[in-house]
Amino acid sequence: MMNSALLIILVFWILAIFLGIMSVKGKDMNLEQWTVGGRGFGSMLVFLLMAGEIYTTFSFLGGSGWAYGKGAPALYVLIYISLSYVLSYWLLPVIWKYAKENNLMSQSDFFVSKYKSPYLGVLVALVGVIAIIPVIVVQLKGLGIIVSEASYGVISMPIAIWMGAISLTIYVMISGIRGSAWTAVIKDIMMVVVIGFLGIYLPLHYYGGLQPMFEAIHTAKPGFLKLPEQGLSVSWFISTVILLVLGFYMWPQVFSSVYTAKSGKVFRRNAIISPLYTLMLLFVFFVGFAAILKVPGLEGGDVDLALLRISIETFNPWFIGLIGGAGLLTALVPGSMLLMSGATLLAKNVYKPFVPSATEHSIGQLAKYLVPVIALISVYFTLNGGDTLATLILMGYSLMTQLFPALLFSFMRNNFVNKYGATAGIICGIATVAYITISESTIGTLFPSLPQAAKDLNVGIIALLINFLVTIIVSLIVRKFTTSYKLAAK
Amino acid sequence: MKIIYILSIVPFIGILGFLPLVNRVEPFVLGMPFNIFWMAMWTVLTSVILGIMYKLDPRNQEGDE
């Protein structure tokens, strides 16, 4: 009985690799093809590529896990993604246009070009790579959970993780972003079907409908379906959503998928349908809610098992295989995008500035060889990371948000912020994030006398404020200094 | 141009601005607790608003830029 589930997962795995190889047939895979698909993708592929990064194993397992473990606060995932599309309407066409005009390949290139500073580019690239690794770790861990659960324990977690990392590496080295885009097509069809079905069927099957399910939870755990008065409260929700919206498009792999588009209009058009598509997450939450009273007792990191556990209790192995196959693809698409962006950043924006003589071809080669290196580092943290995983992920998000001020100012017609200000701002923001993460500070611990609503604000706001202030002040000081220097020279 | 700037703020106000008022379980709407229904409704409205913005935005009348 265990074999039918595993067999179906295996079929999906082979299908994904087959698609990856087919997608590059007849294409000369230089760096531009490999990392931004030759800038020729239309609405549909860009849409799926960007959705592919949003519906990761984190939203699949983690979204239902949050609904299961924390209740109403889980909705923040749905809201920050929907609201991010409003930002995308304005932001992405501008980024795309600038990238196209200047032939940019990576996120770091954008900052290099705007601020005329390769070393700012090195900083941005390193921040990106550091933030990316925890997200790869989460994909690998998710992959491990899915394969080991769906194989009914036959394949252990570590073996599943190694298998995942190796196939991911080969996949990325061969196919680049084209493989990700084509795999995203079957992945999203699978996800919509599987999640839609689970989200409707499970509440019906176990409770007789949505409302009876929520009423049962409301009776068993009063207060669970509301944002609490303290902790994950209304002010936590609002501040977290705003921070995540600002950080949403700062990820290097998101920049890569923006660059793949063949026109800027693609993003404005995609923005319309995207919030509706995000509504799929509602069904993910329904699964998590349905599991609360049916598979009780999962705690800590185990809440992420809620979706798979309730499915295993409910369905035949072949259907578990389908869920596992969908889950495998949700790890593969973003995982490959992340690996590729990380490798491109290291080769093009960290190595190249120090070895200016390197040719485009050798940079492309180096990027490919860096893929297994990043994969190995990620496997190490996946197997040894333990509890620090959640901390690392949150730190990753906070780190990426630190690029927002420099990006925002770069769009101003008369940008007074210079490379010194941008660099100092980013460094101070990052240092604050590191301090906050390591000391496990909250606004409540830093400022104990504040009212509760202020204490619950997301602590990332402090790092962002410091970043903004330092960026502005340093820019103004340097400008004043250089103008008076020039005057004196005359 | 001006109206579409204002339109892009509307979803933020609708969801985040009203949150303190709508953070309640009852009444259930479409089988969902009121707060979850409110957020789901605004997710749909966000799509609608972006659609209106797209129609009003002169940049989309031209060919691919």
Distance from CA of A33 to the nearest CA of B (A): 22
Residue B65: is its pLDDT beyond 50?
no
Q: What residues of B are in contact with residue A90 (Cβ under 8 Å)?
A: 8
Contact: B43, A82; criterion CB under 8 Å:
yes
Per-residue pLDDT of A349-407, as tens digits, reads: 888 888 888 888 888 888 888 999 999 999 998 888 655 555 666 678 888 899 999 99
Partners of A261 in beta bridges: A41
Q: Domains plus CATH for chain A? A: 2-386 (1.20.1730.10), 402-490 (no CATH)
Per-residue pLDDT of A53-83, as tens digits, reads: 667 777 778 888 889 988 888 898 889 989 9
Asked if A231 has any chain B CB less than 8 Å from its own CB, the reply is no
Q: How confident is the model at residue B44 (pLDDT cuts 50, 70, 90)?
A: very high
* pLDDT given for residue A467 in this prediction: 93
A vs B: CB pairs below 8 A: 113
Which segments in chain A show pLDDT lower than 70? 1-2, 25-38, 40, 51-54, 385-394, 489-490
Per-residue pLDDT of A170-220, as tens digits, reads: 878 877 777 777 777 788 888 888 889 999 999 999 999 889 999 999 898
Placement of tokens 């000369």 in the chain: A28
Residues 40-59 in B contacting A (C-alpha not used; CB under 8 Å) = 40, 42-44, 46-47, 49-51, 53-54, 57, 59
The proportion of chain A whose per-residue pLDDT surpasses 70, expressed as a percent, equals 92
pTM score of the predicted model? 0.87
Cα dihedral across residues A68, A149, A130, A359: positive or negative:
negative
CA-wise closest residue to A332 among A22, A58, A23, A13: A13
Q: What residues of B are in contact with residue A209 (Cβ under 8 Å)?
A: 31
Chain A residue with minimal CA distance to B64? A263
Phi, psi values for residue A414, rounded to 5° = -110, 80
Q: For residue B9, what is the enclosing H or E element? A: helix B2-12
The proportion of chain B whose per-residue pLDDT surpasses 70, expressed as a percent, equals 92
DSSP label at residue B25: -
Picking from A39, A84, A88, A89 by the largest number of B CB atoms within 10 A of its own CB, the best residue to mutate is A89
Q: What residues of B are in contact with residue A225 (Cβ under 8 Å)?
A: 25, 33, 35-36
Placement of tokens 């491109």 in the chain: A344
* pLDDT given for residue A1 in this prediction: 46
* pLDDT given for residue A202 in this prediction: 93
Contact status, residue B38 vs residue B46, Cβ threshold 8 Å: no
Contact: A78, B60; criterion CB under 8 Å:
no
Nearest-by-Cβ selection for B46 from A75, A209, A275: A275
Contact: B19, A238; criterion CB under 8 Å:
yes
Nearest-by-Cβ selection for A276 from B28, B44, B64: B44
Chain A residue with minimal CA distance to B50? A272
Q: What residues of B are in contact with residue A275 (Cβ under 8 Å)?
A: 43-44, 46-47, 50
